[in-house]
Amino acid sequence: MKKTLLVGRHGVGKTTLKQALRGEEIRYVKTQYMLYEDWLIDSPGEYAEVHGLNAAIAIYSYESDVVALLIAANDDYSLFPPNCTQMINRDVIGIVTKIDKAPPERAESWLRLSGCKRVFFVDSHTGKGVDELRSYLRKR
């Protein structure tokens, strides 16, 4: 699998998506530090939210093949500035999480504005959209 870094605000659903991608039991675990386990790198939301911690995200992006920016369908703001994907010299994808909670179009438009050419839509609780994402992340 391509090494994939999950980035997004606290509670957007990074760890839950990681569990769904791995076929693990879905259970709440607060991410307290960068978790680099085989092909998935899970980050705490605070690292994306707090300016002084952003460097950790940048450093781990160098370890990855793919950087995934996550926004939930029911989020009312985006952490990611327009065209910010230009700063990342890796394949960058967008993922709209919690598609069971709200229509995904607004989150999708924010991800596209940030520069994501490819956007996936997932509900990690039911697994909807997870197979398509897993197959994209498989090395060819």
Residues in the site for ligand GTP, rule: CB under 6 A? 8, 10-16, 28, 30-31, 44-45, 97-98, 100-101, 123-125
| CB atoms closer than 10 angstroms to residue 88 | 18
CB of 19 to ligand GTP, least distance (A): 8
Candidates 2, 11, 22, 31; binder of Mg ion (CB under 5 A) is 31
CB of 67 to ligand GTP, least distance (A): 15
Q: State the DSSP code for 111.
A: H
Which among 24-32, 70-78, 96-104, 105-113 is the span making contact with Mg ion, rule CB under 5 A?
A: 24-32
Q: For residues 110 and 37, what is the distance between their CA atoms, to the nearest angstrom?
A: 29
Sign (positive or negative) of CA dihedral 30, 36, 37, 40: positive
Subset of residues 72 to 101 that bind Mg ion, contact rule: CB under 5 A: none
98: partner contacted, choices ligand GTP, Mg ion, none (Cβ within 5-8 A by kind): ligand GTP
Question: CB under 8 Å to 76, separation ≥6 — which residues?
Answer: none
- For the chain, report the end-to-end CA distance as a whole number of angstroms: 9
CB of 15 to Mg ion, least distance (A): 3
CB of 43 to Mg ion, least distance (A): 8
Angle between helices 130-137 and 14-22 (to 10 degrees): 80
C-beta of 78 vs 124, nearer to ligand GTP: 124
